[in-house]
């Protein structure tokens, strides 16, 4: 098998896990998935080299330009390492070639075959190499095969009870030291004294009096594994870092999905969505979109989010496929604690990533401070220090206010109008909504929670249509208004418009209503 074919068909075998087990035992140090994958790829490569050398050592490699004698054993790597013994050599006759010889061989399978030898002028097989193509350069091997190797190895380790992992480090479960309940109680007290956390694992060691004969690496990992299994503690560090927090002292909005963000998946016919609809869905920052982010993202540059009403009310931002590349994340922990930095004055305040809920929490007071509203642009950029995100608005103020769609509640229904409204941040004109009494809007949403979504869409569409001279409604505006009353992603809304005979597409994501009385 060619080397490239070998790596294309590469899978994790039980013998690979045995090799990694022995490696971890010998080193007595937990290793990252990248380290283990790299070690395994090098090990497999060496196995290929050893196997090739062992096979080639059984006989002389066939080179058409060389001479052979009776009794010699010859191996043919290009024929699957077929082995034969030369039984005779005679002159060859072919007017198209200069003098050469023909050797007759009895092959290992009993067949007799003839091959040319002493061919002048050179032949490709004279220079062929039959060892694996990649040199023993760890970086080159890992560059070629590391990403796939990591994914395969993660699945194998995760399914094998012998291995355990904390903060992207792996080790053998049976070799971990015991951590007592008393020591865990001390760790809880240390976190309690600083308001619940955060605290890296290293900070516990001096107080816990762990066995000195055990290496510090193994002490750390054993303690991390014990903390991870105790429900009092939550591992909230970003990828590759173990940082701890008392679960009972974490913000309620982190432990429980805020009410405005709670989402129930809605069945819809995706085949109704055309390319324009899908393209808009991919661009809109809705965390429950099923569409992946496919564009290029400069992780050192600024990323802009249009704030929706549910996230404005919750003090959160959506954790979309795009923003998931900006905010710190982890493979195994659900919560990640990081630091927001105010882009205006440099002040720092805590932020939380809630992976399962697909949101980022910690901006409620910041929204109030800068009078941010639904539809405002929020700019995000990674800070100079690891684990920091700089958050900014785009200040904007009009003396008389700006013309904006505003919402109010009257007679148990939502009412929309365009009025002058005090605006303090730049905003998306399609998504922005002025909400002067959010409590009344939320109360109406509670009253209408059993109303079918199609009815809510129809009511919101009618209210928006009368605000336009053309009686046209952009789907982003409809999405923004609908999310005042119910947390709904864009795709189900688009499917309702596409399926409803009363809605007419005008192109460019605008719709009109044909069912007026």
Strand runs (DSSP E) across 280-347, as ranges?
303-306, 316-318, 335-342
CA angle 359, 156, 287 (to 5 degrees): 15
Q: In terms of domains, do 273 and 236 share one?
A: no
Nearest CA-CA partner of 204 in 225, 190, 192, 218: 190
Q: For residue 90, list its beta bridge partners.
A: 102
Residues of the chain with pLDDT under 50: 1-2, 134-135, 517
Domain containing 200 equals 176-250
Q: What is the pTM of this model?
A: 0.77
Angle between helix 475-485 and helix 275-283 axes, rounded to 10 deg = 60
Give the separation between CA 181 and CA 225, rounded to whole angstroms. 13
Q: In terms of domains, do 107 and 157 share one?
A: no
pLDDT at 3: 53
User: CA Rg, the chain, in Å?
Assistant: 34
Q: Is position 171 within any domain?
A: no
pLDDT at 472: 94
pLDDT at 214: 86
CA angle 306, 341, 305 (to 5 degrees): 10
Q: For residue 390, list its beta bridge partners.
A: 341, 381
Q: For residue 419, list its beta bridge partners.
A: 404
Q: In terms of domains, do 352 and 466 share one?
A: yes
Q: In terms of domains, do 495 and 346 share one?
A: yes
Q: In terms of domains, do 144 and 269 share one?
A: no
Q: Are 77 and 131 in contact (CB under 8 A)?
A: no
Q: Is position 263 within any domain?
A: yes
pLDDT at 298: 67
Q: Is position 25 within any domain?
A: yes
Read off the tokens for 366: 């910041």
Q: How many domains does the chain have?
A: 4
User: Which of 250, 278, 301 is the C-terminal boundary of a domain?
Assistant: 250
Peptide bond into 279 cis (omega under 30): no
Q: In terms of domains, do 225 and 148 share one?
A: no
Q: Are 62 and 74 in contact (CB under 8 A)?
A: yes
pLDDT at 400: 64
Which CATH number do you get for residue 378?
2.40.330.10
């Amino acid at each position: 098998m060619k080397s490239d074919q070998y790596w294309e068909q590469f899978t994790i075998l039980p013998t690979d896990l045995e090799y990694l087990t022995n490696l971890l035992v010998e080193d007595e140090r937990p290793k990252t998935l990248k380290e283990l994958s790299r070690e395994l790829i090098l090990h497999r490569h060496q196995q290929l080299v050893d196997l090739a050398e062992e096979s080639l050592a059984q006989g002389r490699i066939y080179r058409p330009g060389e001479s052979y004698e009776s009794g010699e054993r010859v191996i043919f790597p290009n024929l699957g390492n077929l082995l034969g013994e030369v039984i005779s050599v005679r002159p060859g006759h072919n007017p198209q070639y200069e003098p050469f010889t023909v050797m007759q061989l009895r092959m290992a399978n009993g067949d007799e075959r003839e091959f040319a030898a002493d061919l002048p002028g050179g032949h490709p097989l004279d220079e062929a190499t039959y060892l694996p193509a990649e040199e023993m350069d760890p970086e080159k091997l890992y560059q070629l095969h590391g990403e796939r190797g990591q994914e395969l190895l993660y699945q194998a380790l995760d399914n094998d009870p012998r291995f355990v992992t904390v903060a992207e480090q792996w080790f053998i479960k049976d070799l971990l030291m015991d951590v007592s309940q008393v020591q865990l109680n001390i760790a809880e007290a240390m976190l309690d004294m600083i308001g619940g956390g955060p605290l890296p694992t290293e900070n516990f060691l001096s107080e816990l009096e762990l066995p000195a004969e055990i290496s510090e690496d193994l002490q750390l990992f054993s303690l991390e594994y014990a903390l991870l299994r105790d429900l009092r503690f939550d591992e909230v560090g970003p990828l590759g870092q173990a940082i701890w927090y008392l679960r009972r002292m974490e913000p309620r909005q982190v432990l429980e999905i805020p009410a405005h963000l709670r989402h129930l998946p809605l069945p819809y016919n995706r085949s109704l969505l055309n390319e324009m609809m899908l393209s808009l869905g991919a661009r809109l920052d809705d965390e429950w979109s099923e569409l992946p982010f496919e564009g290029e993202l400069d992780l050192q540059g600024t990323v802009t989010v249009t704030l929706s009403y549910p996230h404005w009310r919750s003090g959160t931002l959506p954790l979309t496929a795009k923003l998931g590349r900006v905010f710190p994340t982890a493979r195994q922990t659900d919560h990640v604690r990081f630091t927001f930095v105010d882009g205006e004055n440099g002040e720092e305040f805590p932020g939380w990533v809630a992976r399962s809920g697909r949101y980022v929490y910690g901006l409620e007071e910041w929204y109030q401070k800068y009078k941010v509203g639904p539809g405002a642009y929020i700019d995000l950029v990674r800070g100079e220090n690891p684990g920091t995100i700089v958050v900014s608005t785009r200040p904007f103020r009009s003396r008389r206010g700006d013309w904006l769609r505003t919402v109010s509640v009257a007679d148990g229904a939502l009412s929309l109008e365009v009025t002058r409204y005090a605006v303090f941040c730049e905003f998306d004109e399609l998504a922005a909504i002025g909400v002067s009494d959010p409590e009344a809007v939320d109360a109406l949403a509670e009253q209408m929670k059993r109303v079918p979504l199609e009815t809510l869409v129809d009511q919101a569409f009618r209210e928006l249509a009368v605000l336009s001279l053309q009686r046209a409604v952009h789907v982003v505006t409809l999405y923004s208004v609908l999310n005042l009353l119910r947390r709904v992603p864009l795709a189900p809304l688009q499917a309702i418009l596409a399926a409803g005979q009363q809605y007419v597409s005008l192109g460019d994501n605008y719709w009109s209503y044909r069912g007026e009385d």
